[in-house]
């Protein structure tokens, strides 16, 4: 392997020819991004391969130079993959590290690679390629989560549980219906990620520093080679745009918010007070002092990591908000929040998929709570409207007084006798009891998108068709 030049020798001809003195130690440290942007090595090499091939096709580089550059970049990539590459902080970033190594390997042709481009369009292209792949990876895992939720829902189409508002039992629903609510949420997240991917898929390469280049380049060719739909339309916007990063992280933050809501439900449902579900041993932890404890730490960490994903979005928005066009070094701060947001999101998605796949539900416990809190009161009010013709607001008041009577008696609404009902509204008949059971209540919610089992079966079939 060709010996690498020292940091000082490598840096001088590449970046510091116009300076008489070396940078201060603090300047070198604050200016260097290699510790995090080395993650972009594959994207950087791919962009350089496409750029070099285009330069050859346009007659800007010779075929021999193009071959040497292509072979050299492949060698650099193999060194990095094998863990043999020595990243040098003095070379600042992934672009200069790869270029310096390329020059060390192939000599003069390597110095020609940077013709008709800048690190400004290079880094925008690298980051777009990385974000595009990250969005695709997140979409794959969101689909896995939807599949897990749908599979679990199919087991519980007729499992009755309480539906809540304000975390108070409101109306009986089915467990499948509740799980399908999250399938819809994650479907919207996938839509946002697809939108973000479609919008970012324009190639900045060839915009150079900010004004384009005087060389006769073919930006369509490099765009095609890298899988972009087209080149970007304005050279200034090409290098200063980080909308794609912020939009992707915004989509990630929304997905994390949905994951956090589901995680919170798992925490609540697995507590002894609810006992609706049991998380598997694989996604539970114990206590260092209390041997009986079974903690839902995976769910809690999903909930907790939402904060850092939202924080990444705030960091990006704050970084970009006051920048004039075109490029400024502030933009170096774009990568760590993007990397961290998607690393966290992917991990949370993988953990949630595992929790849902391993989940054990307790239908009896769910059913017992589904009938608590006079959960069929709305059904009674609907019966008064439908059978007696009462205006709903009047029916609401009648049932409210019936609920108060049941609470005074210490019993459920359906445990009251007909005479009790008639003391509040004399026209009530024993037909009202037909709607007070939780199974009848659930079955009656047969409107589109309702919780009735037949509606849920249809919704499951549609969900499989739409998302899987």
Convert the pLDDT of each residue in 174-212 to its tens digit. Answer: 999 999 999 999 999 999 999 999 999 999 999 999 999
Q: How confident is the model at residue 376 (pLDDT cuts 50, 70, 90)?
A: confident
User: Is pLDDT of 5 > 80?
Assistant: no
310 close to 341: Cβ distance less than 8 angstroms: no
Q: For 254-268, write each residue's pLDDT tens digit.
A: 999 999 999 999 999
* pLDDT of 10 above 90: no
CA distances to 135, 160, 256, 281, 413 from 354, rounded to whole Å, are: 20, 24, 16, 11, 40
Kindly state the helix (H) or strand (E) to which residue 278 belongs, with its residue range: strand 277-278
Q: How far apart are CA 299 and CA 100, in angstroms?
A: 45
371 — pLDDT class (breaks 50, 70, 90):
confident
Peptide bond into 53 cis (omega under 30): no
Give strand ranges (E) for 292-372. 360-361
Cβ-proximal residues to 223 (8 Å cutoff; 6+ apart), any chain = 202, 203, 205, 229, 230, 231
Look at the block and give the residue holding tokens 């290699």.
34
| pLDDT of 11 higher than 70 | no
Residue 14: predicted pLDDT: 60
Task: For 318-357, give one letter per residue: b (16+ CB within 10 A) or e.
Answer: ebbeeeeebbeeebbebbbbbbbbbbbbbebbebbbbbbb
Return the higher-pLDDT residue of 254 and 371.
254
Q: Is 224 exposed, middle or buried (0-12, 13-18, 19+ CB in 10 A)?
A: middle
Least confident of 261-265, 288-292, 299-303, 432-436: 288-292
User: What whole-number percentage of the chain has pLDDT above 70?
Assistant: 96
- In the prediction, which pLDDT does 374 show? 86
Q: Where do runs of H (alpha helix) occur along 232-296?
A: 235-240, 243-269
pLDDT of residue 9: 44
Q: Which residues of 72-83 are buried (b: 16+ CB within 10 A; e: fewer)?
A: bbebbbebbeee
3-state helix vs strand vs coil in the chain, percent to 5 = 65, 5, 30
Arithmetic mean of pLDDT, 343-358: 98
Whether the per-residue pLDDT at 375 is higher than 50: the answer is yes
Whether residue 463 contacts residue 444, with contact meaning beta carbons closer than 8 Å, is answered with no
Residue 229 burial class via C-beta count within 10 angstroms: exposed 0-12, middle 13-18, buried 19 and up: exposed
Alpha carbon separation from 282 to 174, 178, 266 (Å, rounded): 27, 24, 15
pLDDT at res. 414: 85
Length of the chain measured in residues: 468
Distance of CA 108 to the CA centre of its chain: 44
SS3 86: coil
Average pLDDT for 154-165: 96
What average pLDDT score do residues 348-375 get? 94
- The tens digit of pLDDT for each residue in 406-439 reads 999 999 888 899 999 999 999 999 999 988 889 9
CA-to-CA distance for 444 and 189, rounded, in angstroms? 31
- Residues serving a catalytic function are 166, 287
Q: How far apart are CA 220 and CA 201, in angstroms?
A: 13
Give the model confidence (pLDDT) of 94-125 as tens digits.
999 999 999 999 999 999 999 999 999 999 99
Q: In this predicted structure, what is the pLDDT of residue 16?
A: 64
State pLDDT tens for residues 12-60.
446 666 676 788 889 888 989 999 999 999 999 999 999 999 999 999 9
- Note the pLDDT of residue 296: 93
Cα four-point dihedral sign 123, 129, 132, 133? negative
- pLDDT for 290 equals 82
């Amino acid at each position: 392997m060709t010996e690498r030049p020292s940091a000082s020798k490598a840096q001088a001809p590449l970046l510091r020819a116009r300076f008489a003195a070396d940078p201060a130690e603090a300047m070198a440290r604050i200016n260097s991004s290699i510790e995090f942007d080395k993650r972009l090595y594959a994207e950087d090499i791919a962009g350089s391969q496409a750029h070099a091939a285009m330069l050859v096709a346009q007659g800007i580089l010779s075929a021999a130079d193009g071959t040497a550059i292509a072979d050299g970049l492949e060698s650099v990539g193999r060194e990095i993959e094998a863990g043999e590459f020595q990243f040098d902080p003095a070379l600042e970033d992934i672009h200069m590290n790869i270029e310096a190594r390329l020059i060390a390997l192939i000599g003069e042709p390597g110095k020609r690679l940077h013709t008709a481009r800048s690190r400004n369009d290079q880094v925008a292209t690298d980051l777009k390629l990385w974000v595009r792949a990250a969005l695709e990876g997140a979409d794959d895992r969101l689909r896995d989560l939807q599949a897990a939720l749908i599979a679990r829902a199919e087991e519980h189409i007729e499992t009755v549980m309480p539906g809540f508002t304000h975390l108070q039992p409101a109306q009986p629903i089915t467990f499948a219906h509740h799980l399908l609510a999250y399938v819809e949420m994650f479907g919207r997240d996938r839509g946002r990620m697809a939108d973000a991917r479609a919008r970012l898929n324009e190639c900045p390469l060839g915009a150079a520093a900010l004004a384009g280049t005087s060389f006769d380049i073919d930006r369509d060719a490099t765009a095609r080679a890298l899988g972009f739909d087209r080149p970007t339309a304005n050279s200034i916007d090409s290098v200063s745009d980080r909308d794609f990063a912020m939009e992707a992280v915004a989509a990630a933050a929304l997905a994390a918010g949905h994951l956090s809501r589901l995680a919170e439900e798992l925490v609540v449902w697995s507590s002894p007070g609810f006992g609706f579900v049991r998380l598997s041993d694989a996604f539970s932890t114990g206590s260092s002092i209390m041997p009986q404890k079974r903690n839902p730490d995976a769910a809690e960490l999903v909930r907790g990591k939402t904060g850092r994903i939202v924080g990444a979005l705030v960091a990006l928005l704050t970084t970009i908000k006051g920048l004039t066009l075109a490029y400024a070094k502030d933009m170096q701060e774009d990568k760590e929040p993007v990397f961290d947001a998607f690393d966290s999101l992917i991990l949370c998605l993988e953990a949630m998929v595992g929790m849902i796949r391993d989940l054990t539900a307790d239908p009896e416990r769910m059913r017992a709570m589904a009938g608590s809190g006079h959960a069929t009161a709305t059904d009674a009010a609907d019966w008064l409207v439908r059978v007696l013709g009462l205006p709903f607001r009047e029916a609401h008041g009648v049932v409210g007084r019936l609920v108060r009577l049941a609470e005074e008696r210490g019993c459920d609404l359906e445990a009251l006798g007909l005479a009790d009902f008639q003391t509040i509204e004399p026209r009530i008949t024993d037909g009202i009891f037909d709607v007070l059971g939780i199974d009848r209540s659930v079955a009656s919610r047969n409107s589109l998108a309702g919780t009735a089992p037949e509606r849920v079966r249809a919704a499951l079939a549609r969900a499989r068709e739409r998302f899987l």
